[in-house]
Structure formats: C-alpha cells, structure tokens
Amino acid sequence: PVPGLGPDLDEARKCLAQVFGFPGFRGVQDQVVARALAGRSTLAVMPTGAGKSLTYQLPAVMLEGTCVVVSPLIALMHDQLRSATANGIRAAALTSVDTDREVTIDRFRAGELDLLYVAPERASQPHFRELLSKAPLSLFAIDEAHCVSEWGHDFRPDYRLMRPLMDAFPQVPRLALTATADRHTRADILEQLGIPADGLIVAGFDRPNIQYRIAPRDNPQRQILRFIADNPGPGVVYAPTRAQVEKLAEQLGAQLGAEGRRVLPYHAGLPAHVRAANQEAFVSSEDMVIVATVAFGMGIDKPDVRFVAHAGLPKSIEGYYQETGRAGRDGDPSVALMLWGADDFARARQRLAEVDETRRQGERTRLDALAGLVETTACRRAVLLRHFGENPPATCGNCDNCLEPPALTDATELARKLLSAVYRTGQSYGLGHLEKVLTGQADERVRARGHDELSVFGIVGPDQAPLLKALSRALLARGTLTATEHGGLALAGDARAILKGEQTVELALPPVRERGGSKRRGK
Ligand code: ADP
Ligand code: ZN
C-alpha cells in the first residue's frame, strides 16, 4: 500500500470476498473500514448482529502490522479468535487462560500476527506497552467501548487505561466499537478514547421485523406459556436471577415437555459442560426454549431465534435492545415480550441508593429511560429509536401500542386522591391499607390508626377502586411514588406537582389488557 494513503475500498471488497466469503459490505461497515484503512480514528455504534468484528478484522488483514484488539470478556475473545482463525486470519490472544503466551509474543514480534486479542487488565500493564513497541501496529480496536464510560451500563475502570497506552502510539488509528451507546455515552467514549467528534459513525438501530410487546406481570408462568404457544420457533426467556431461571425452566419444561418441546436452563452457575451442551442444543434446535440469565446470548450465532421474552425488567434500555436483538437476525418476523412489575422498579430504585455517588445520576437516568419505555402508551419502537438518537416516525405498526392502541384515561383525579392518602397516613403504608382507607373500609387497623377520621377516608367509589392497583404500579414506575424499606409507599418525583394540580397523569386504564403475541401473524 502507498504510505499515508492505504489500500482503497475496491481492494477491501476483494479481501471481503476472498477472506470472509461475503459478497458485499452491510450497512455502515464500508464507511468504518474505509476510515481504518485511511488511518483515521472512529467510534462505530452498530447494533448487535450488524457485523462489528469485520470492521477491524478486515483492515487487520489488509494493513501492515498487527491490530491490537481490546475486549472485556475472555469467552467473547475466544469466539472471535476461533472465527478469525477459521477464515485463515493470523490471530492469537493474550489472557490469563492462554497457555501459549510465549509463542504468541514471539509471533507478534516476528510480525506474524494480524490480530492480537488482549484483556484491558493486561493491556494496561507496562510490559505490554513495551511489547507493542517491538513490532509495527496497524490499528487499536476497542471492543465493547461503552465500558470506558461511567455513563455506559457496564463501566470497567481498566478501560480508562487504554487512552494512555494508545497515546504512546499516536500514529496508530483507533477503532472503538459498541452496540449500546446513547448520546451521552457516545460523547464520553470519544473523549475518553481520544477520538475526534467527526469520527462517530452510527448505524441505524431499527429492527423492523421484531415486534415489541410490554405488559404488566400478573401470572408470569401463564403469560409466558401463552406467549410461547403463540410462537412456535426457537426462543429465549430471560429471567433476572439464577434461581428464577431454574424455577421457570422447570415450570415451563413440565408444561411444554408434554408437547414435545424442549426447555433447558442456562446461567453462569451451571457447570461449563452443561452450559455448553444446553447452548449447543439450542443453536441446533428448531423449537427449543432456553431459559437464561443475561449471561446467555453473547457470541451466539443463531439467526432464526423467533422470540425473546423477559420475565422481569431488564437492566437498561441498552440491555433490553441487545437482548431482544438476538431475535430475528434472519430478518423474519419475531416477537419480543417484556413482563414487568412495580416491584422491579421499586427494587431498582432502592438499589440506586446503594450505588456510589459518581454513578448514581447515570443509573437514575437509565432507570427513568426504561420506565419511559415501559409506561409509554405511544409507539415502543419510536421510544427505543429516539433513545438511540434517531428520529423515527411516530408509529411503527409493529408494536403492541401501535397494533392495539390502549384507551387513555385521565387519571389525575384518582392519582391526587391516592397521593393525598399516602401523604395523610404518613407515607409508610402499603397499597392494601391505602385502598381500605380510600374506599372507606374501617377495619381494626384503620380505626386503630385513626385513619377513618382522615379527609381521604372513603373518597374513592366502587367504580374507581379497581383502578388503584394499576395506578400505584404506574406511579411507582414513573417515580411519583417510591417504596419504603418496609414496603410502604412514599411521595417522590412529581408527586407534589400532581397534588398541586400542576401536572396531569394519563394512564392506559382500565387495567391494561394482557397481551400475547397472537396478532403477529397478521403481517
Ligand atoms: P456484532 O459483533 O456486530 O454483533 P458480528 O461481528 O458477530 O456482529 O457479525 C454478525 C454476523 O454477521 C456474523 O455471523 C458475521 O459473520 C456476519 N457478517 C458480518 N459482516 C457481514 C457481511 N458483510 N455480509 C454477510 N454477513 C456478515
Ligand atoms: Zn409502534
């Protein structure tokens, strides 16, 4: 290649076909590759499945010298190493579990490596910097680059040490890659990794073949069974904890097994061989259901996943997008169902208090964004895409709210009654007690506390009483109410504004209908 100019895109296309066997670039891949070949630094934000690895592997093959790839997970690194090696690319990894480190170092120094994978802990050590000075480098690729930002959902302090390392090699271009950065995080990544603002390339985030559905959880086992019955293909059910994975896998297995459909669990607590076997069974199956923690899915190449269900609230919109994004990579119709409960939000808000100060604001913003997605009565896809900085149409026609628009009720009056009752009873009682007070049921406890004397006693009539539960759930979700340590409700957020009549509350009431995935095939 001509020094300073680098090989051009035509040559890159030839290499794409010869080395990777692909007929052409997808989406923004060519832009990203062109920048790397031209020696310019880039932050590429591309959704899962968009083909991020290719954007550094291809330049690594074409350019003189070695491309150093920083990646946070050893398992992920080895997956990529395997596929690179399978394509005939000269690649190796330096991690604590690689026993051939001496060989790798020799190969690197002899200029025999296109790709050198390394974990950030190792990359930040002084002798690694010294090693890098011993042979020419083509590119720094920083995978999962959101780990460098405290605004990201997976901050890794070691990522902060990449900047000084890369600064020691100023002539080597940088390519940061992530699937999951909102606007705030992107700006931070650019800054933290020393990439110019004009180096940002963002791929479209829309996955039009995925139908988004979000519903309150009342009977998760029944709701998920119905959802699975509606969706015959292979699918993933995410549960928040290992124990819940085990339990749900057993319950679903008992029901679905009778119909000849396999259900297997997957979480980090299972022995490695069981995990590997269950994953293998899933990848080769056409109708299996895998119940898993979010540990499942990374690096798994299964294009025909037909559904993803969340039995509990995901950690963030980024996480939700990534996990649901494992459905429908083949482009065929797929459905994502999320079940949530007010207790999910209550727990998440309680956890906020334990997070250290520097990260709390970021976590809170993330939780609010998630509440916004869950609560919206408008298009889910629009909320998602706006979160990723896009400017989508107001409706998509392929989410629950677009397909079955919820009837909106102005619940401001009822909300004010509930909030007053919370306030007048001292912000320490649960919904059960508040319901009794509001609907005028003077049981022993109500009388003992003198709550039958309050102005809010009996101010909610029988027609409105059934709505209180859904209302409190929604108010918890939007942070107007918070749960106290002992399960009581307290005012928070915009509660005072609502009480003062400065703010209205619109809700999808009466109690949000249960939504399965049955409308999907109307497509
Ligand atoms: P990401 O890391 O962005 O989630 P991967 O790098 O794992 O995505 O790529 C996802 C899948 O797309 C892989 O199976 C990969 O081989 C395939 N792929 C990547 N680029 C292309 C391309 N230009 N044409 C066809 N398939 C591609
Ligand atoms: Zn929609």
What's the pLDDT tens digit per position in 114-144? 999 999 988 888 999 999 999 999 999 999 9
Predicted confidence (pLDDT) at residue 512 exceeds the cutoff of 70: no
pLDDT of 236 > 60? The answer is: yes
- The span from the CA of 211 to the CA of 180, in Å, is 20
Predicted structure pTM score: 0.67
Reported as a single tens digit per residue, the pLDDT across 461-503 is: 999 998 898 888 788 767 788 877 777 899 998 999 999 999 9
453 CB neighbour count, 10 Å cutoff: 10
Report the side by side order of strands in the sheet with 200-202: 91-94, 115-118, 66-70, 137-142, 174-178, 42-45, 200-202
Mean of pLDDT values over 202-217: 93
Please report the atom of ligand 1 found closest to the CA of residue 50: 3
Task: Please tell me the least confidently modeled range out of 3-17, 117-131, 257-271.
Answer: 3-17
User: Distance between CA 200 and CA 164 in Å, rounded?
Assistant: 21
- Does ligand 1 have an atom closer than 6 angstroms to the CB of 180? no
Helix (H, G, I), strand (E, B) or coil at 269: coil
Residues with CB under 5 A from ligand 2 (ion): 379, 381, 396, 399, 402
Q: What is the best residue among 20, 46, 54 to mutate for testing ligand 1's pocket, by most ligand atoms within 8 Å of CB?
A: 54
**Does ligand 1 lie within 6 Å of residue 49's CB atom?**
yes
Q: Which of 9, 22, 31, 175 to mutate to test the pocket of ligand 1 (most atoms within 8 A of CB)?
A: 22
Amino acid identity at 302: K
From 16, 53, 81, 180, give the residue whose CB has the most ligand 1 atoms within 8 Å, as the site to mutate: 53
Question: Cα angle vertex 56, ends 172, 32, to 5°?
Answer: 90
Work out the number of other CB atoms within 10 angstroms of the CB of residue 156: 17
User: Which pLDDT value is given to residue 486?
Assistant: 75
Decide: 227 and 309 in contact? Cβ < 8 Å: yes
H helices present in 150-303, as ranges? 162-167, 183-193, 220-230, 242-257, 272-283
Our answer on whether the CB atom of 212 is closer than 6 Å to any ligand 1 atom is no
Contacts of residue 276, defined as CB under 8 A and 6 or more positions apart, other chains included, come to none
346 alpha-carbon distance from chain centroid: 19
Closest protein CA for atom 23 of ligand 1: 25
Query: Do residues 140 and 118 lie in contact, with contact meaning Cβ atoms separated by under 8 Å?
Result: no
Rounded to an integer, what distance in angstroms lies between the CA atom of residue 56 and that of residue 65? 13
- Model pLDDT, residue 509: 60
Locate 70 and state its tokens.
């920083």
Percent of the chain at pLDDT above 90? 66
49 C-alpha to center of ligand 1: Å? 6
pLDDT tier, 7 (very low <50, low <70, confident <90, very high otherwise): low
Q: For ligand 1, atom 26, which residue shows the shortest CA distance?
A: 22
User: Is 45 touching ligand 1 by the criterion CB < 6 Å?
Assistant: no
pLDDT at position 517: 38
Q: Is the distance from the beta carbon of residue 266 to the nearest atom of ligand 1 less than 6 Å?
A: no
